[in-house]
Amino acid sequence: MEVADQFFNEKRVQNDNGARSYGWFMSQIDCLFCSDIFKSKQALHHILTYYEQADAELRFGLDIFLQSNWARKSALAHWKLFPDFDQVVDSQECLQSEHAHPDVASCCVHESPRAFHFLVRQGIIRSCYYSRFGHSLFLLAFQKNALETIGYMICTMSPLHLLAPASVAEMWDGRSILQLAATNSVVFGICWEKVDQMPLDLGEILQEREIRSICRFASMGLASRLYHRGIDLADVVKKDSSLWLEMIRYHLEPTGF
């Protein structure tokens, strides 16, 4: 009842029509609960479609419900998501078999960008969250090369989130989101706009493997900006002449970065 009370207090509905509207609004909330929105992708898509087709007044009420602490806490509990890397490390859940069914949010990362964007916009989840398997939602999108979702994630993250480890799994060797981004020209370009103005020691953050990868796609402009941040790509290329061929091959292809 608290959600509906807040809705009608803000709308200041005090007449008989408002009383009927109160009952009608509660029936809509009941539909949300009955649809089990935190356990089913199908139910989430139903709610998303319902929300997009709702009129302004109903959408206002649904926003209050979806942006409530209850909705956020319920999502974290049902989907077993973790807000930051430290909480993932402290949890034993990430030791579960990765063959178990992924949560709804993790599925939406690469299967339904529309639904994922909706969850983030409503504040139900954040792009920097981690799944119960110990992987960041970013890593899930990165593995599927879901560039639309990756771009949206980075835009909604703080620069510091890009420096957090992408996964607890040993195979990822503690690599940060920014380090993973260095293997993809498009993703690194988006990340670079976030970190370029930060007073970071990129020479400490980007290791040799990342710098070698950047050499393959770096433009003169990016190389110059990196040079002024303490990373000289020319030194790396001098040590490995094969990088020249890769650079030439890459720049013969159209690129937006």
pLDDT digits (tens, 9 = 90+) for 44-91: 887 888 888 888 888 888 888 888 888 888 888 888 899 999 888 887
In a domain, 116, yes or no: yes
Q: Which two tokens stand for residue 2?
A: 């608290």
Query: According to the model, what pLDDT value does residue 20 have?
Result: 43
In a domain, 24, yes or no: yes
Question: What residues make up the domain containing 153?
Answer: 79-197
pTM of the entire predicted model: 0.80
Residues 15 and 35 in one domain: yes
Q: What is the mean pLDDT of residues 179-187?
A: 93
Residues 166 and 209 in one domain: no
Residues 3 and 42 in one domain: yes
Given a contact cutoff of 8 angstroms between Cβ atoms, the answer to whether 108 and 119 are in contact is yes
Residues 189 and 104 in one domain: yes
Residues 83 and 171 in one domain: yes
Considering 197, 216, 241, which residue would you say is the last residue of a domain?
Answer: 197
205-238 residue pLDDT tens: 898 889 889 988 888 888 889 888 888 888 887 8
In a domain, 72, yes or no: no
Residue 138 pLDDT more than 90? Answer: yes
Residues 193 and 207 in one domain: no
Residues 85 and 183 in one domain: yes
Number of domains in the chain: 3
Closest C-alpha to 178, from 23, 190, 168: 190
Residues 179 and 85 in one domain: yes
* Inter-CA distances, 105 with 28, 84, 131, 220, Å: 23, 16, 9, 39
In a domain, 85, yes or no: yes
Query: According to the model, what pLDDT value does residue 29 have?
Result: 63
Placement of tokens 């989840």 in the chain: 125
In a domain, 227, yes or no: yes
In a domain, 132, yes or no: yes
Residue 19 pLDDT more than 60? Answer: no
Residues 234 and 252 in one domain: yes
Query: According to the model, what pLDDT value does residue 11 have?
Result: 47
In a domain, 74, yes or no: no
Q: Which range has highest mean pLDDT (24-28, 110-114, 232-236)?
A: 110-114
> What type of residue is 20?
R
Residues 164 and 212 in one domain: no
Considering 169, 197, 225, which residue would you say is the last residue of a domain?
Answer: 197
Closest C-alpha to 172, from 202, 133, 200, 204: 133
Residues 116 and 175 in one domain: yes
In a domain, 71, yes or no: no
The number of residues in the chain equals 257
